[in-house]
Amino acid sequence: MTDKKNKRRRITPGRAMVSTVMLFFFLAFFLLFLKDFNWQSLMLALAVPVIVLFGSVGISKLFPADTLLLSLTNFLCALGVLVLYRLSPERGLTQAVNYGIGVAAMIGCTLLIRYMPSFRFVNWAFMLGSVALLALPLVIGTEKNGANSWISFGGRSFQPSEIVKLALLISLAHMLSKRKVIVPMGFAAVCVLILAVQNDFGTALLYFGTALVLGYAATGSVLLVGAGAGGAAAAVVLGNMIIPQKFARAMSRVNVWLNPWQDVQGAGYQIVQGLIAMANGGLWGVGLGAGNATVIPEHYNDFIFAVIVNEFGMIFGLIVVAMYALIMIRGIMIARNARGVFHALLATGCAAMLALQVFVIIGGNIKLIPLTGITLPFISYGGTSLVSSLCIIGLMQGVAARNAAGVNEDRELAMQGGGWR
Amino acid sequence: MKQVKNNIRRVCIFLCILFVLLAVYGGYSITVNGNRWFSSGANTFVRSKKKDVIAGNILDRNGNFLAFNDVQTTAEGTKTTRLYHQDAAVRRAMVHVVGDREGNVNNGVESFMASSLYGFQMSLVERFSCFMRGVQRTGDNVHLTLDSRLCAMASGLFPQGKAGALVVMNYETGEMLAEISLPQYDPMNITWQAKSDPQKPFYNRAVQGLYAPGSTFKIITAASAFENYADAATRAWQCTGQLQVGDRFVTDAGTDLAAGKIVSHGQLTLQRAFQVSCNNTFAQIALSIGDQKLKKTAESFGFNDNFLFRDVVVENSAYPRENRTEREVAWTGVGQSTLTATPLHMCMVAAAVANDGVMMEPYTVMRTQAADGRQRTEAESRVYRTAMKPETAQVLKGYMRSVVQTGTGTAAQIAGVKVCGKTGSAEVDTQENTNAWFVGFLDEPAHPYAISVVVEDAGGGGSVAAPIARQVFQWMLNNGY
């Protein structure tokens, strides 16, 4: 990077990873091709490594971006395409298309953060729009898996909460960086309430956790965290009194979590089949294409982690967890290099939101916490989820790009003999 | 700005902890529970693989085939039928350990060892070689530590029509030689009667039956006395025949307060109380030690623990935690109250006394072998926990010896062999008679075997269960154990 004349390629961790990842996906799709000689598999065997190459190295050629972050993200996205394609080719192909859209959206978000001077004028629009979008399913929504948080639009359905995530992150970071606390926390509380009313407890938990983490990062106040947790507890108690039947539903989930084996064929079926799928995989997995994880309800969505462990093994599953951890740590590093409070908080929020989402859904899969239906970022089937997760990475990349640009500015200033601004 | 970055670092630490939790719990639960989940009846993957693989055989410790296959090659292809031991008595005696084709028994070897029997332990090379040669894969053979003849013989010793269980284990190694549960059924001929029998023959009472241990629990109460009182051996206790606790009485067998008939032992030592199984004394001991300390001793014997033995799935024994009135505590010391334990666990308690306080982990799978005879795994004995001090075990051994010599367990005597034991007659509200218990062991270094016998609704432990134990030990001594 320092000497542009030096064309000899150095092997950086990012580069080494990209080539390994390309090889992995070529071999994996080729294996699927050998199974049924479907030309689509062969096409994907060539196309996916190329997308990975573009998504990881190509983008960093366009503007200074974090190659390691990109290659990790791309690996996970491509893994999602692979696993979904193996489970059902149509879903895999749809996911591949969404992956392409997501990469474009990610670039858009990067550029937005890189060049947008301030969000002062759009902040209120973001907040009002968020609440309106979130509340929309209550008016024209359709129900899916018990959660009334979906909107059908031209034959396709999506969850507004996935898009609102981005606005929430930007708005919270913006207001908290201006030393406001009441308004952003109130905004987050309204969002969480709307989601809880829609029975989308997983997303509500995610929003709640992210808001608390961001509030803590901005203020350093344990009191705030305590007040947030206390408020949530009070809301649960109050809600239990007003609408008990709804909370009975939530409690039944907790009971299933405590002992899913009590009702193996009924309420506990999904989680039990998920655990069995993981046990079938063991440490090394049954092999790509050899598992039967399709018996799990929502295997392509909430339980995609169980499918991965089933076919690739627990060790691979833990590596996937480690990759998410690396993405989170990378995000925090970007935040700590940021040159303003807004950008620091934004990158922290992105990292925290992804990390919490991973924890909530994988924790639910392995029965560490009660299961709530949310997607595994980058991997689960679903256009909105994939695009919004990639957008979150885009926001992080935008901060990273700003950091790099800032360093260059300093250097130029120093060369001109200028001091610190 | 600096403050915010410090906060961000803390956020990072918090999120890292979440990831570590995920990784640790994920790795832990799959290693600890993996095989239990895998062998669950709800696992359709195993069922789907059974078509492709010829299941391995199940053999007992002497190489007798307990489960094997009949492969018939016809014009349409090969047809495999799972068969069980040719002798119906052996088949019936082993059915709870081995399991059946339909999976009626929970955690039988047929389902719990499915990963070996159906070749999931085979390496990729072996699978590939089978694939290339075009032969159907054959799973691994499982050799058990149990002696099927012993099990069949012991099954015949139970009174006609009575339910119950019997466990024999080697207290030095933990290997189980017999595990039977009655009533039994024939895995080759699973009848409608078996499925609708109110006595539930599919239920493996040896490891799933949660019984009140009755007076056999006095081993633990006595151990607690030794752990808590330095002078436990010499202290004198007064048995009046009726110990008033609250507004009720703790009495001994034979006492009928309404008829004015009171059995009392007068002043006695702990050893004498143990010999004659004096409820009064043990209730006093429980009360004077206190609930918490007694619970601590019981827990050191494995009560309230989550048993995760490698190949024996045992229901957890419970020392009661709720409703601890004085009366309940007094009855707990006698082994009643809401205490529950399995016959296997009480066998382990006796085994711990025999083995200087060290409780071995029970196991039933001796080794697994590939179809071509190569050894796959070999069991080694492991310590489960240390239940008590060696000195306490030594004294209790003497007490249990005196029970058989001159106490309630004289029916277990064998000439020339040091048999030790403790009887129990546990009361069950819904039954006319008590459950007869006997737990004991041979205090002979050459014959390190412990036994536990339960006969439901049958009467006194000394008269019903102790003779069964004697005959089992006698048979074992006659047959080279």
Residue A384 lies in a domain: yes
Contacts of A291 in chain B (CB under 8 A): 45
> Any idea what the Cα angle at residue B147 is, between residues B209 and B176, rounded to 5°?
50
Residue A286 lies in a domain: yes
Nearest-by-CA chain A residue for B22: A363
Is A277 an interface residue toward B (CB < 8 Å)? yes
Residue B192 lies in a domain: no
User: Which range marks the domain in which residue B388 is found?
Assistant: 214-370+383-478
Q: Give the pLDDT confidence score for residue B342 in this predicted structure.
A: 95
Is B316 an interface residue toward A (CB < 8 Å)? no
Number of domains in chain A: 1
Residue from the list A213, A317, A321 with its beta carbon closest to the beta carbon of B19: A321
Residue A6 lies in a domain: no
Task: Give B17's pLDDT tier (boundaries 50, 70, 90).
Answer: very high
Rounded to a whole number of angstroms, the distance from the CA of A359 to the nearest CA of chain B is 7
Is A348 an interface residue toward B (CB < 8 Å)? yes
Does the ipTM surpass 0.95? no
Task: Give B340's pLDDT tier (boundaries 50, 70, 90).
Answer: very high
Average pLDDT over every residue of B473-479: 94
Mind listing the pLDDT tens digit for each residue in B238-284? 888 777 776 677 777 666 666 667 777 888 899 999 998 888 899 99
Rounded to a whole number of angstroms, the distance from the CA of B131 to the nearest CA of chain A is 15
Residue B162 lies in a domain: no
Query: Mean pLDDT of all residues in chain B?
Result: 89
User: Which range marks the domain in which residue A282 is found?
Assistant: 13-415
Residue from the list B3, B9, B30 with its beta carbon closest to the beta carbon of A278: B30
Rounded to a whole number of angstroms, the distance from the CA of B332 to the nearest CA of chain A is 29
Is B121 an interface residue toward A (CB < 8 Å)? no
Is A34 an interface residue toward B (CB < 8 Å)? no
Nearest-by-CA chain B residue for A336: B5
Residue B125 lies in a domain: no
Number of domains in chain B: 1
Mind listing the pLDDT tens digit for each residue in A169-212? 999 999 999 888 889 999 999 999 898 888 888 899 999 999 99
The structure tokens 């399995």 sit at B342
Q: Give the pLDDT confidence score for residue A240 in this predicted structure.
A: 78
Does residue A1 surpass a pLDDT of 60?
A: no
Is B24 an interface residue toward A (CB < 8 Å)? no
Mind listing the pLDDT tens digit for each residue in A313-351? 999 999 999 999 999 999 999 999 998 899 999 999 999
Contact (CB<8Å) B40/A282: no
Rounded to a whole number of angstroms, the distance from the CA of B113 to the nearest CA of chain A is 13
Q: Hey, is B74 helix, strand or coil? A: strand
> What percentage of chain A reaches a pLDDT higher than 70?
91
Q: What is the pTM of this model?
A: 0.77
Residue A7 lies in a domain: no
Residues whose CB is less than 8 angstroms from the CB of residue A51 and which lie 6 or more positions away in sequence, other chains included? A74, A78, A96, A99, A100, A103
Is A350 an interface residue toward B (CB < 8 Å)? no
Residue B399 lies in a domain: yes
Is A169 an interface residue toward B (CB < 8 Å)? no
Is A264 an interface residue toward B (CB < 8 Å)? yes
Mind listing the pLDDT tens digit for each residue in B384-403? 999 999 999 999 999 999 99
Mind listing the pLDDT tens digit for each residue in A208-258? 999 999 999 998 888 888 998 898 888 888 877 887 777 777 777 888 888
Contact (CB<8Å) B44/A367: no
Contact (CB<8Å) A351/B15: yes
CATH number for position B222: 3.40.710.10
